[in-house]
Structures are given as C-alpha cells and as structure tokens.
Amino acid sequence: MAAQTGFPVAHLAERSEARWDGRNAGRLMPEFLTLCTLDEARRRLAGSLPPFAPHSEMVPLADALGRVAFESVRSPEDVPPFARSTVDGFAVRSQDVWGASEGAPAYLAVIGEVAMGRPAAVTLGPNQAARIPTGGMLPVGADAALMVERTQPWGDDGVEVLSPVAPGENVVSAAEDVRAGDDVLEAGRLIGPAQIGALAAVGVTQVAVRRRPVVVVASTGNELVPPEEKPPPGRIRDINLPVLSAQVRQAGGEPRSLGILGDDAATIEAALRQALPAADMLAVSGGTSVGSEDVVVEVLARLGEPGILVHGLAIKPGKPTAIAVLDGKPAFALPGHPVSCAVVFDLLCAGLVRRMAGLPDPPARRVQARLARPLASAPGREDFYRVRLEEIDGELQAVPLLGKSALISTLARADGLVRVPLEAEGLDAGELVEVLLLYGGDLAYEAHLSQGREPGPGPGGLA
C-alpha cells in the first residue's frame, strides 16, 4: 500500500482503509475514514518540530518598527549628557530661594541667559540667576529651575522669586534617563515607537532584528490563472495565493511565492524541492483531497522525514488538510477552497509563524455575542461558522453568514468565526457564544463599545 500511494506506512495506519476508484483505473484512492482532531493535530506537529533557530539581520532604525530585537543593545553614552531644564524660567541655586513666598519673596540678580542648543556660558554664584528655556543646559552652580510663572521682574536686571524650589526640581540630571552601558533594548523585545525613540536617543541607527520566517506559498490547480488575467471558460482566478501571502505578512512572516504550479506532480515536486532549503515553512493550497489530480500530499511525503503527520482533520471547513514535517520544517497542504484554506491557515499556521518570528501572542481576539440563528453540526467534528457582528436590540449579536467554502465573499464580509465544539450537535439561537475575531473584526466590536454598550451581552467581554 505504501508503495502505491507514496505515504509512510505509519501514516496509512492512521488513515484507515483505502478504496478502489473505478474512474482512475490502477490507482488506489485514500478515503478520509479516520480524521484527526484539531488539538491532536497541533500536538503531533509540536511533538515533531525541533526548536526553531532564528537568524538575524540588520535594519535601519526607520524600518525597525514591529520587528523583534535579536540581541540586547547597550547605550554608548549618557542620556542626557548634561543637566537640562524642563521649564521656561530661571536657573537658580535652590538654597538662595528657600522659604520664598509672595509675602516674603527672594531677590536674585539675573546675570545672563542660556541659549537653546548651546553650552551654558555663565556660572552662578550666591543670589544669582540665569534665564533658561525648556531643554536648556543648566549652568554651573545651578541645581534647580524655577518656572517663570512663579517670578516677577525686579528692577532692570533682577527677578523677584515668589516660591521655593528643591534641589533637582524642574531639572533632568545628566544620565538620569540612560547611563552609558545600560540596556536600552532587550533581546526578544518587540520594537515599538518608544524603543525606536530610546535607540535614537543614544545614536543607534542600525539594529539587529530577528529575520522574518520565510514561508514558501504556492497554489496548485490546472484551472487557475493569476488575478491579473481574465480567465477563459473553465478556468478561474487564483484567490488562495494572494490570501496566503497576506496572512503570512499579517503573522509576521515573509511570503515567497512560487506562483501557480498546476497539477503535475513532477512540476510541483521540483518547485518545492528547490524552494525548501531557503524556507522555514511551506504552505501549498489545493491537491489535498482524494481526486485523481490531488497530488500535493504525496509530493510532501517524499520531501523529508518524518513526512506526513496528519491527513484529514475533523473540522469544517478544512477537512482535507495535511500536515507534514520535512527534516525539521513544517509543511501544510491546505484545501483548495478559499474559505477552507484561509480558515485553516488562521487556526494552524498563523500562530506558528508568529512564534518563529519571536512575536508575542496578540491581544485577546475573542468576544462574546448572542447567536442570532441556530447552527447545525455533527458530533465528532468541529465546525467554524463565519459570522458578522451586529448591534440588534442594544445587544451584540453574531449573525451567521452561510455559504459554501468556495465562496470567498462570505469570509470577506465576516467579522469572526464561531466554533461548534467537537461533541455538540449544534448551537441554539440566543445562545451566548465566543467569536474568534478575524482581521478587521475588532472594528465591529469597537463600534459596539463606542455606543456605550457593555463589553458583551453577558459577563466576560473580551476573553
């Protein structure tokens, strides 16, 4: 059997029996008689993958937003390198204005002015002050800055002080922000605007980041043409390749497209073999079912060890999915129907790409809503229904968008997915359900909150 199908023997034991297909004489066609649950598929994959070894690359600071620091960065200098005023007013010696008040002001001689962006050219002695702008360098002798609002002019070159200041008040001391040798960026930290600011403050303009994991993506099927072409009769535009590429980018990876590979096993195998050495993951759509031209699973089984871990998931949409590990690299044969392909990538692949990229788990993407209509299911299978979040009678409701898994429009209109558990026969209308938000689905939820509503129709809100 293994010689006829190309699958490892151990995998065929999981796949149950095969059947003879009279339409394809001489070929043994595998049947999905035993299916793997989603949780079990994840366990098998996790148990077969070695730890991921990330690589680094240097990027300009301007391109570092959203990347993950590969190594810690230490400051080469103090920040700030000198004491600076945080207010417009006067640089003073705090001991000269101790006890000053409106009823008993202190009087200081103004001996000069600190120019912005230049070294302070004055030195303060007893009962002396210097005008200073916000950010100006504190002159020698001064230990505080006094807000101009707490002063009044006194004669031609003096100032009347109406309140005291403590040593260091309204001043950022030298090295108060960062000391030379301090870590300004820790390895593994997600780089945001604040981290970019810290690096800029110490003069770091290039930063080592984790290289984005390379995910090789491809579509198969003789019926497909690129989106820019007008399909002739009998052919359709490819949807999966643009969707997969976008999903890879959204998860923090770098898609490498092999384009449309057709249905020829030799062509598919040659393309994947050539791409595999530079890939961290493979994601190929189509060719996963039991038709005579569905050859992707057989090809993957020949590309590395241990080979196919799962072929057939107890979920809908997404039943024909296959999962493999090829000499330490994960590979996914995803269904050809666009909704199935996109949903399975979101459920199985996106989190793996994020972990490879070193990205933290995203914020909670689950909300609670009231189910607007009943949903049918079959025990032994997890169903994932597309839903739209709508405000109905002052309550957040999940409205199912019913349609076949070949219809991308249902997914494009959806805000999220509702899962029907493995053991359930369906969900009743009015039931409180958890909605897994899809890209953009959080906007519908935020719109609900902006109306002053509670986070959900019951306790919990964001899960």
What type of residue sits at position 148? V
> What does the DSSP assignment read for 7-47?
--HHHHHHT--EEE-TTSTT-EEE---S-B-HHHHHHHHHH
Per-domain residue ranges for the chain? 31-53+212-357, 56-76+182-210, 84-172, 366-450
Angle of CA points 267, 272, 277, to nearest 5°? 145
Residue 142 CA to its chain's centroid (Å): 48
Give yes or no for a contact between 387 and 399, defined as CB atoms under 8 angstroms apart. yes
* pLDDT over 70 percentage in the chain: 86
Of 77-91, 153-167, 322-336, 351-365, the range with the lowest mean pLDDT is: 351-365
Residue 249: phi, psi to the nearest 5? -65, -40
* Domain 56-76+182-210 sits in CATH 3.90.105.10: yes
Residue type for position 240: N
The chain-wide mean pLDDT, for the chain, equals: 88
Reply yes or no on whether the pLDDT at 329 is more than 90.
Answer: yes
Contact status, residue 334 vs residue 240, Cβ threshold 8 Å:
yes
- Token readout for 298 is 């057989």
Spatial separation of the C-alpha atoms in residues 330 and 356, rounded to whole Å? 11
310 within 8 A of 248, measured Cβ to Cβ: no
Which residue in this structure is represented by tokens 């077969």?
Answer: 48
The three-state secondary structure class of 62 is: helix
> Angle at which helices 240-250 and 350-357 pack, to 10 degrees?
40
* Homologous superfamily (CATH) for 366-450: MoeA, C-terminal, domain IV (2.40.340.10)
Distance (Å) of CA 144 to CA 59, 81, 129, 239, 253:
41, 17, 10, 65, 50
Amino acid at 453: R
- 382-441, pLDDT tens digit by residue? 999 999 999 988 899 999 998 887 788 999 999 999 999 999 999 999 999 999 998 766
Q: What is the mean pLDDT of residues 296-317?
A: 96
Single-letter residue type at 256 = R
Element (H, E) at 128: strand 128-132
User: Is the per-residue pLDDT at 32 higher than 70?
Assistant: no
Q: According to DSSP H, which parts of 280-380 are helical?
A: 296-301, 338-344, 350-357
The pLDDT of 24-37, averaged and rounded, is 56
**Cα 27 → chain centroid:** 44
Give mean pLDDT, residues 236-264. Answer: 96
Domain 31-53+212-357 matching CATH 3.30.70.890: the answer reads: no
Query: 402 or 180: which carries more pLDDT confidence?
Result: 180
Q: Is the pTM of this model over 0.85?
A: no
How does DSSP classify residue 182? -
Among the residue ranges 7-21, 49-63, 120-134, 167-181, the one predicted with the least confidence is 7-21
Class of 84-172 in CATH: mainly beta
State how far the Cα of 307 lies from the Cα of 45, in Å rounded to an integer: 11
What does the pLDDT average to over 3-23? Answer: 32
Q: Residue 363: what pLDDT?
A: 75
Strands 84-85 and 214-219: unpaired
Given a contact cutoff of 8 angstroms between Cβ atoms, the answer to whether 384 and 315 are in contact is yes
